[in-house]
A and B are shown apart, each in its own frame.
Chain A
């Protein structure tokens, strides 16, 4: 490629596009390389996005035909045993009016494409169907551009932003960050199930345009450390289920078979009944935790979003961390261009920006959450069954005195869990959130 760009960005996901928007707003010429045929062609998420963070990049997004599926007004949490489950939920009128689009769902194939269009309109160049295969470096090891799989493949740039997501063969090849070990990622599969809009409205007890999210934990991941979700889209439901990759390797449970079992669970089956499967996908989530975040900058490059392992498992927040870190990276680049200094020490500001934001605060606060789940397998095995047993016993009206039932429940719980183990679980759980 002939032209010289100030900034080369790898990946047109939320991180890369947010950076491209901020750079273009400041008149800096940036080129984004995306390996998919269009932005979003390779991407998936549960589908939840956050209006607050999107508005920082595109303030009037809801008036700009942003492809929103449903505005989320209710969050449910399920804790499931094999045959039943607990559900808690919270719905609030505020989310229909003043706080509309606080949280909403999207399909990433449409959203990422729309988002990239916004960046193009601002003046960024988005080049699709192009894989970045290597980084160019000078004799001192400073990154000076990217190599692509296009015929005229190399492009020099003053600085490179790696926003290439969590699965990065580029990282594996160049070592800009370590390849994750299986225990540092979760593998999730997703199925989109088509249903008529009115049926979704009825089943979730919502008015048109509004939606519900369900976060699910328990026996549903076959004893593995994992989660599932059901999110509402306009005319479909998103079902995701995933677990730690090291657990999949140990248990030898096939991801798609786990998904099929999930679909038959008595809590899930009625919601998807009669629906038509429309798409099946797979992707990783970062589970490495705060301690394993790589160095996010170096001579001539920065890392943003999933590529830097910025993901909050407990609150399933990744896209917002991607957007905010992408914007921070762009601001750091703007400063560096002013100084004409792209060295490591000049880019260090990026880290301070992250440290002073919710990103490092939250990742630090929840750094014990992943280890908590990993160290308490009973959360996914015996505990949901014992809790299911307890509720089933208490709710069964059969003339047995309640005191006797409580004794039976306690005995059943203690069968698999010592008192000290239960106290440990509660204490660790309390400290992790």
Chain B
């Protein structure tokens, strides 16, 4: 296997805001009602991880594609753009 997702995100520039632009609305839904936990698979930046029986959000590496917002089968993610000027900043695009 080639480069890991961490290697890839390391190539990118981010202007990280102190507060997350992504939020799980109800953590209990993730653990009790969500069999598929699709956020763990579809996110191209591996932002969502299952840690100690809860979903953690590493919003710092979010590529702002929107997939988790519409891909979460329970629509359980509150999704905003990072504050103006924050978030990923492309070099080449």
Distance of A264 Cα from B36 Cα, bound (Å): 30
Distance of A150 Cα from B83 Cα, bound (Å): 9
* Residues of chain A from 103 to 157 with CB closer than 8 A to chain B in the complex: 107-112, 128-131, 133, 148-150
Residues of A contacting B42 with CB < 8 Å? Answer: 187, 245, 248-249, 255
Taking a contact as CB atoms under 8 Å apart, the answer to whether B90 and A108 are in contact is yes
The digit string for A173-196, where 1 denotes a CB below 8 A from any CB of B, is 000000111100101010110000
Closest to B75 in A: A179
Residues of B contacting A233 with CB < 8 Å? Answer: 92
The digit string for B1-15, where 1 denotes a CB below 8 A from any CB of A, is 111010111011001
Distance of A253 Cα from B84 Cα, bound (Å): 32
Taking a contact as CB atoms under 8 Å apart, the answer to whether A109 and B67 are in contact is no
Taking a contact as CB atoms under 8 Å apart, the answer to whether A110 and B93 are in contact is yes
Distance of A180 Cα from B66 Cα, bound (Å): 10
Which of B1, B15, B41 has the most A CB atoms < 10 Å from its CB? B41
The digit string for A249-280, where 1 denotes a CB below 8 A from any CB of B, is 10011111100100110000000000001111
The digit string for A59-83, where 1 denotes a CB below 8 A from any CB of B, is 0000000000000000000000000
Known: A169-B79, A249-B41. A182 touches B70 (CB 8 A): yes
Interface size in chain B (residues, C-beta < 8 A): 39
Q: Is A421 an interface residue (CB 8 A)?
A: no
Q: Is A37 an interface residue (CB 8 A)?
A: yes
* Residues of chain B from 69 to 93 with CB closer than 8 A to chain A in the complex: 69-71, 79-85, 87-93
Distance of A53 Cα from B89 Cα, bound (Å): 27
Known: A35-B81, A37-B15, A169-B79. A281 touches B67 (CB 8 A): no
Closest to A173 in B: B80
Residues of A contacting B64 with CB < 8 Å? Answer: 42, 167
Q: Is A222 an interface residue (CB 8 A)?
A: no
Distance of A368 Cα from B39 Cα, bound (Å): 30
Known: A187-B65, A260-B2, A281-B63. A37 touches B85 (CB 8 A): yes
Distance of A226 Cα from B65 Cα, bound (Å): 17
Distance of A180 Cα from B92 Cα, bound (Å): 27
Closest to A251 in B: B41
Known: A108-B93, A187-B42, A189-B44. A280 touches B9 (CB 8 A): yes
Residues of A contacting B79 with CB < 8 Å? Answer: 169
Residues of A contacting B9 with CB < 8 Å? Answer: 280
Partner of A169, one of B12, B67, B81: B81
Partner of B71, one of A133, A182, A281: A182
Known: A169-B66, A281-B12. A260 touches B3 (CB 8 A): yes
Whole-angstrom distance from the CB of A15 to the nearest CB of chain B?
Answer: 16
Whole-angstrom distance from the CB of B35 to the nearest CB of chain A?
Answer: 12
Known: A129-B85, A182-B70, A256-B5. A169 touches B80 (CB 8 A): yes
Closest to A170 in B: B81
Q: Is A217 an interface residue (CB 8 A)?
A: no
Residues of A contacting B88 with CB < 8 Å? Answer: 41-42, 281
Q: Is A282 an interface residue (CB 8 A)?
A: yes
Residues of B contacting A248 with CB < 8 Å? Answer: 41-42, 67, 71
Taking a contact as CB atoms under 8 Å apart, the answer to whether B85 and A44 are in contact is no
Taking a contact as CB atoms under 8 Å apart, the answer to whether A254 and B67 are in contact is no
Residues of B contacting A167 with CB < 8 Å? Answer: 64-66
Q: Is B38 an interface residue (CB 8 A)?
A: yes
Residues of A contacting B81 with CB < 8 Å? Answer: 35, 131, 169
Whole-angstrom distance from the CB of B65 to the nearest CB of chain A?
Answer: 4
Nearest 10 A/B pairs, CB to CB: A129-B85, A108-B93, A109-B93, A167-B66, A280-B8, A282-B44, A107-B92, A260-B2, A282-B63, A129-B84
A sample of 25 inter-chain contacts (CB < 8 A) reads: A35-B84, A37-B15, A41-B89, A43-B90, A109-B90, A112-B93, A128-B84, A129-B84, A129-B85, A131-B84, A133-B80, A148-B84, A149-B84, A169-B66, A181-B70, A189-B44, A249-B41, A249-B42, A254-B44, A278-B11, A279-B90, A281-B93, A282-B45, A282-B67, A283-B65
Give the A-binding residues of B (Cβ under 8 A).
Answer: 1-3, 5, 7-9, 11-12, 15, 36, 38, 41-42, 44-46, 63-67, 69-71, 79-85, 87-93
Give the B-binding residues of A (Cβ under 8 A).
Answer: 35-37, 40-45, 107-112, 128-131, 133, 148-150, 166-167, 169, 172, 179-182, 185, 187, 189, 191-192, 233, 236, 245, 248-249, 252-257, 260, 263-264, 277-284
